[in-house]
Structure formats: structure tokens, C-alpha cells
Amino acid sequence: MLLALSSFITWRAFKRLEPDKPLPVALLLLPVPCFLSTLGPSQSLPATVGTFGIFYVSILAWTVAYRLSPWHPLAQFPGPKVCRVSKAVLAWQAYKGDLHRYVRGLHEAYGDMVRIGWYNRVTPGTPTSLVSIRDPIVHKSRRRVWDRAFSPATIRDHWKGHVMKRVGQLVDHFGRIAQQKERGGKAVVDLNNWMTSFTYDVMGDVTFGGGFEMMKAGGDRTGMTEALQGYNIMHAALAHIPWAHTYVRLLPLAAAAGKRFASIALAPLMTRITEGTQVKDLFWFVADEESPTPPSRATVKADGIMAVVAGSDTTATTLTAIWYFLLRNPIIMQLLEEEVDAHFADGIEQWGDEAMRKMSGMVRLNAIMSVRSPPSMNTEDLLELS
């Protein structure tokens, strides 16, 4: 009876406090069974192990019973029982890359509303980038810096030149490939590779003033994208079990992927920190050294990595998908070419307000970018187009 009561109280403490750091978890899981093992008729090793085992199994039993009970706040929503008990299934599906198919199957079986998990997925104990902040006051303060970095004036005066330079470089590469085909050669273009190289070069220029030069090298020679893929697989799985980050990152093999990507991505950032912030790139805004309370170096690193990943990998995915749909639909491709030729018969020599005005009036181009682009990240969010 005492064992059941103590396990219930411990479960309630976990449910209420949601501890994730090793010390509070150990204080909840170790002292109580240690004390209970001294109250039994035998203090032998098998009896002590049995007490610990029953205590832990009882905590799990209380957890499962509550999540399956009609008193749970989400009890009225349909869904498979295994997903009600744990998100380990979703973590496994995410690790395999089948989460989108699995979630779609759940919706086909249960309808529009399916109980599969929760919203808050902040990784415990790590420096937060802007996108992972949940505190509205802190978010507002950090958002102010990013708003300055991406104001219309900043984009026009600082980022536009970087983008146009890299667009020209990409067009030159495609031109050489086309010339190779015209000479009778075989031209095979890996659009995913080129879009990835293009977006990483753009974000390297915008964020750190340069540093990647993937298009010049013909692809990723640093291993950044491969490291990012490994990190994303691990993060996609652990995002469904946030508390596991605290312990998995202590494992050498699990931590290697994240450390490898961070070391590559942070190389230009560390160079930028050493050289200072004289150039008004994105780092100049994020570091916010003119502020009375500038962000910590850990925060700047987190935002720097977020900027590179958010602006390159996701954009490359979107651009590659757009190319895929255009190549699968040659009629749409032809209509888009006609629209571009009609608005820019002489090309684009100067990327100014006039060019932006023309682009805003290109119906097909804007429809392709805003309507027919799939989500750039695999999440449980659904996109339905008719």
C-alpha cells in the first residue's frame, strides 16, 4: 500500500513539475525506493531490486492509466491508443522519414482531429534561437532585432546585392552547362545540389559576409549538408520526446551529428566574431552590440545557426520542389517563360523598385511561389490544395 501511494505521489510530481534535468529526476526516482527497501522484511539485493522495479513500473502504470482515462483533457479526441500513451511511435516514424505518411493514415482512419501529441517542443537546457522562444517578453525583445535586420530598407540596401550576385553566379553555371549540351555533350543537372549550394552561398553572404562558396566548388565540400541531414534526423525524432534531449546528447554517437554540423556552421561565425562587426551583415544586427544589454555569445551562435539553416536548407527544398513541379508540367513552364519574357524582355540589369513592381504583377509566378509550393519542412501540419 505504501509503495503504491509513494509511486502515485511521485507520478503526480512528475506530471506537475515536468523535471528534465538529471538532479531533480534523480531526487524523485532514487530516495523513495531506497527508503522503501529498508522497510521490508529483507534487505537482500533481490528484494531491493524488486522494490525499485515495482516502484518504477507503478509510476509507468499510473502514467498509462491517466493518459487512457476519460479524465485526461484530450480524452474526447480520437486516435490510436499507442499514441495516447507515448509519442515514441511518432519519434520512430520521424526517424524513418515516414511521419507524414503515418499521420496521413491516422487522419484517413480517425478524421480531421487526431490525438497524437502536444505543442511545446522546446529542447531543455539549450540556448534558444528566436524560433524556439516561448516567453512573449523575451521574444518581443529578440524579434525587434530581427525586424531591423529584415526591414524593407535593410533588404534593399544590404541583402539585395548579395542575392543578385549569387543569382548571376548560378545563371553563369547553368549557361556553361547549356553550352556543354549544345556542343553535343550530355548535360545532367542535379537541381537539388545547385539549389542547396545557391541558398547556402546566399545565406553565408547575408549572415556572415561570405564563407561557404559551394557553387564555386560545385557542391558541398565541407560536409555541412550531410551533417545537417544527420542532425535533422536525430532532432526530428527527439522533438517528439523533448526531455530525451537532456540524456541523448550525453551519448557520444548521438551527440556527434549535432557537434559536427555546429562546428562546420560556426566556423564562419567564429571568424566573424574575431573580426568584429564593422560590416552590416545579419550578424551585425543579431549581435546587437550597440544595445545596453547585447545577447550572450551562446544566443548569437544559436541565432546564427538558425539563420543559415532557416534561410538555406528550407529555401533549397522549396526551390527544388518548384523545379520538380515545373519540369513535370511543361505547359505551366512555358506559360511562366512567356510571362517572364513579357515583363522582362530586356532582362534585369538593375534590381530596383521597378523590377519589384513588375514581379508583384506576375500572376503565374506569384501563384507558383505562394500557392503551389509544398511546406519546406516535414511536420504534422497538413496542406490541402484543390
Length of the chain (residues): 386
Domain ranges (residues) in the chain: 1-72, 76-118, 130-313, 329-379
pLDDT band, very low/low/confident/very high, at 348 (cuts 50, 70, 90): low
Quote the cell numbers at residue 337.
517563360
CA distance 300 to 84: 38
User: Given a cut of 50, is residue 320 above it in pLDDT?
Assistant: yes
Predicted local distance difference test score (pLDDT) of residue 59: 93
Predicted local distance difference test score (pLDDT) of residue 385: 47
pLDDT band, very low/low/confident/very high, at 194 (cuts 50, 70, 90): very high
pLDDT band, very low/low/confident/very high, at 180 (cuts 50, 70, 90): confident
Predicted local distance difference test score (pLDDT) of residue 170: 92
CA distance 152 to 263: 32
219, 248 contact by CB (below 8 A): no
Spell out the residues 6+ positions from residue 273 whose beta carbon is closer than 8 angstroms to its own. Answer: 297, 300
59, 7 contact by CB (below 8 A): yes
Write the DSSP assignment of 128-153 as a string of letters: PPGGG---HHHHHHHHHHHHHHTSHH
Model pTM score: 0.67
Q: What is the rounded average pLDDT of the residues 334-349?
A: 85
pLDDT band, very low/low/confident/very high, at 65 (cuts 50, 70, 90): very high
- The amino acid occupying position 352 is G
Spell out the residues 6+ positions from residue 324 whose beta carbon is closer than 8 angstroms to its own. Answer: 191
Burial environment of residue 193 by CB neighbours within 10 A (0 to 12, 13 to 18, 19 or more): middle
32, 13 contact by CB (below 8 A): no
pLDDT tens digits, 1-28:
788 899 889 989 988 888 878 888 889 8
Residue 333 to residues 191, 327, 338, Cα–Cα distance (Å): 16, 7, 9
Of the candidates 303, 284, 272, the one whose C-alpha atom is nearest the C-alpha of residue 154 is 284
Class for domain 130-313, per CATH? Answer: mainly alpha
pLDDT tens digits, 354-385:
777 888 889 999 888 876 565 555 544 545 54
User: Given a cut of 90, is residue 303 above it in pLDDT?
Assistant: no
Q: What is the rounded average pLDDT of the residues 200-218?
A: 83
User: Given a cut of 50, is residue 213 above it in pLDDT?
Assistant: yes
Burial environment of residue 369 by CB neighbours within 10 A (0 to 12, 13 to 18, 19 or more): middle
CA distance 10 to 28: 7
More confident residue, 131 or 343: 343
Q: What is the rounded average pLDDT of the residues 116-126?
A: 52
CA distance 138 to 140: 5
Of the candidates 70, 91, 71, the one whose C-alpha atom is nearest the C-alpha of residue 82 is 91
Predicted local distance difference test score (pLDDT) of residue 118: 56
Predicted local distance difference test score (pLDDT) of residue 121: 44
Residue 98 has φ and ψ, to the nearest 5°, of -110, 15
